[in-house]
A and B are shown apart, each in its own frame.
Chain A
Amino acid sequence: MSAELLAPLPDVGGPAQPLLEIRNLTKHFPIKGGMLNRTVARVNAVDGVTFDVAKGETLGIVGESGCGKSTTARLLIRLIEPDQGEVRFDGQTVGTDISVAELRRGVQMVFQDSFASLNPRLTIEDSIAFGPRVRGVANTDAVNKAHDLLRRVGMAPEQYARRYPHELSGGQRQRVNIARALALAPRLLILDEPVSALDKSVEAQVLNLLVDLKASLGLTYIFVSHDLNVVQYISDRVLVMYLGRVAEIGPVESIYTDARHPYTRALLSAMPSMDPDRRTQEAPIAGDPPNPINPPSGCLFHTRCPFAEAVCKTTAPALAPVGESHNAACHMEIAGSGHSRAARA
């Protein structure tokens, strides 16, 4: 029992089977108010999101605050119960074929706030060994495994194992969080802004560590971030979210060099330039992202889009293929959509 739990999970479906299949994932948070505490409005945090994650790849999820990227991450691992939609892990549907507990054996998560996600009263050795212990691994095995993992994330157990989270720096705490996520030998790590709270020099150390761990343990990553530079560095494919929906998804090179959705293009040109002779002269889009409580009709981006036409205000565009495994949800890319820039049907 004990040794088995610390060994990696077997590959069930073979290499062609996506590790994770997400179908029509939806979460609307009700907003209560008024005298009778009735639902007065809804936040469409995640609205019909569909994508796959192939074995061994890194999928980056980008978007601005409130776009639903973190909610999507939490729905995947059932920290939040979805309203609708299906999650299949290696071909097995969560809830029918496998339980949530079994899903979490294969999928673990690392959060942005390295301090809040560790129990302040546990030594880091106990934090890492906690999961395996709960699942029935013998105490000495769990502690040995914890020491082994600390070594793997570059922290000498002799020096650090008995320390408490407050005795560590932010970068070290994030290493501990990564070690803890690996304690049950998962196949998929969901990294929710794992380096956003770190300084640049420490961020580079943690990114190097993530790249090394992925190669040596054969992991698959979902990397959620608002930092387009980091996502470009680490991802194989990129998913761009806007107000709870997928705006565009495709291979990292296509997204960064041939983005088709006007929002993706705006997001990319909003990155500060590193060249003092080529400073940004004009903001790519005006205004703030709309309030997700009363989102616009039709295409959610039409209120800020320079190409918006009548059809954009009335009809939500579906994801349509625009290139090799590259999809965008924009009427300009859908033949016969009625947009003047779209091809005729």
Chain B
Amino acid sequence: MTATHRPLVEVKDLHVRFRGERNVHAVNGVDFALDRGEVLGILGESGSGKSVTLKALLRLLPEKRTVISGQIRVGNEDVLALEPEALADFRGKTASMIFQEPMLALDPVYTIGWQIAEAVERHEKCGRDAARQRALEMLERVRIPSPARRLDAYPHEMSGGMRQRAMIALALACKPQVLLADEPTTALDATVQIQILLLLRELQRELGMAAIFVTHDIGVAVEVSDRIAVMYAGRIVETGKVADIVRRPSHPYTRGLLASTVHGAMRGKRLDAIPGAPPSLNEAPSGCSFAPRCKEVLPECSQSLPQAVTVSPAHLSRCVRSTPVTA
């Protein structure tokens, strides 16, 4: 990355803490950048902070109970400093989001066409008819059969795959610069999941849009991403190009995750499972959070947070054992 180059999305030292009966340090210092037209996959298990990071980018976390620090810049906007009106302009226009469960994300009492047209009217300041026309185009674009009829359908009248297509149409209606996708295919059946992944990949290329895909499924991340960031206990432990992460994983957690992901070739062999369970995050972690489960743990692991080490070009790992590439 040259000095003149300015990425589309920049997140620096993001911390998210939830207050309440107990404190949860959900995100503990996340840095990443995303270029125009690039797809980043954030891979992690439940509680790793991947969804929280994504929601922080749209400021969707409940303000009263959340303490956010750090920097989030998308395009020219300093997201954490946006006033309510500017935030409403930002959501859906600059960045928009699709969720795991379209039945919960879409409004059950309005038709699909109405919901898409509403967003278009709000952002493009156009009339109802033009907005409705755009909604129709979007339904065609996500390949919903008989789109003109589907404009007047309510979410409950559609199947799971169709609802997910409708939500994609809604999210892309105002041509955002970055699409945030939170486990968009997890609730879908296998034969439908692959259709939606291919559709998202195609639309992302056509529109030249950047995207961040949050998933727990390595297969899904490999299908859609250019780069992958692996999260554990609220930190990115490794990031690199898809091929580097899948073929030459450096961090012990990434290696453990790949080794414990079942596939056919492992038949009859014992799975190399990671022992134990992720930490609770009631306290802000001081050292490497993976140390208690790590097979290669060293005394210094629990003393301080390991620095990100460049193990090969554009491939970073936060592990004390990682050896930097000799430039």
Q: Which residues of A come within 8 Å of B, CB atoms?
A: 64-65, 169, 171-172, 199-205, 207-208, 211, 226-230, 232-233, 252, 256, 266-267, 270-277, 279-289, 291
Q: How far is the CA of A203 from the CA of B260 in the complex (A)?
A: 8
Q: A171-B277, A271-B219, A283-B195 are in contact. Are A204 and B272 (CB under 8 A)?
A: yes
Q: How far is the CA of A85 from the CA of B286 in the complex (A)?
A: 61
User: A200-B260, A200-B261 are known contacts; what are 4 more A-B pairs with Cβ within 8 Å?
Assistant: A200-B45, A201-B256, A280-B194, A280-B197
Of the candidates B46, B160, B189, B217, the one whose C-beta lies within 8 Å of that of A226 is B189
Contacts of A275 in B (CB 8 A): 222, 246
Binding site of A, secondary structure by majority: helix, strand, loop or mixed? loop
Contacts of B149 in A (CB 8 A): none
Tell whether, in the assembled complex, residue B223 and residue A272 are in contact, meaning their CB atoms are under 8 Å apart: yes
Binding site of B, secondary structure by majority: helix, strand, loop or mixed? helix
Using C-beta atoms within 8 Å of the partner chain, give the interface range for chain B: 35 or more
**For the complex, is B266 an interface residue (Cβ under 8 Å from A)?**
yes
Query: Shortest Cβ distance from B208 into chain A, in angstroms?
Result: 19
Query: Shortest Cβ distance from B194 into chain A, in angstroms?
Result: 4
Tell whether, in the assembled complex, residue A280 and residue B198 are in contact, meaning their CB atoms are under 8 Å apart: yes
Of the candidates A200, A276, A280, the one whose C-beta lies within 8 Å of that of B242 is A276
The 21 listed contacts between A and B (C-beta, < 8 Å) are A64-B191, A65-B189, A169-B277, A171-B277, A200-B261, A204-B273, A205-B274, A229-B261, A233-B263, A256-B264, A266-B191, A271-B219, A272-B197, A272-B220, A277-B243, A283-B194, A283-B198, A285-B191, A288-B159, A288-B160, A289-B192
Q: Which residues of B come within 8 Å of A, CB atoms?
A: 45-46, 159-162, 189-195, 197-198, 216-220, 222-223, 242-243, 246, 256-257, 259-264, 266-267, 270-275, 277-278
Contacts of A280 in B (CB 8 A): 194, 197-198, 223
Q: A199-B216, A202-B277, A277-B243 are in contact. Are A289 and B264 (CB under 8 A)?
A: no
Contacts of A267 in B (CB 8 A): 190-191
Query: Shortest Cβ distance from A159 into chain B, in angstroms?
Result: 14
Tell whether, in the assembled complex, residue B190 and residue A226 are in contact, meaning their CB atoms are under 8 Å apart: yes
Contacts of B217 in A (CB 8 A): 272
Q: How far is the CA of A64 from the CA of B160 in the complex (A)?
A: 12
Q: A274-B246, A274-B263 are in contact. Are A289 and B189 (CB under 8 A)?
A: yes
Contacts of B273 in A (CB 8 A): 201-202, 204-205, 207-208
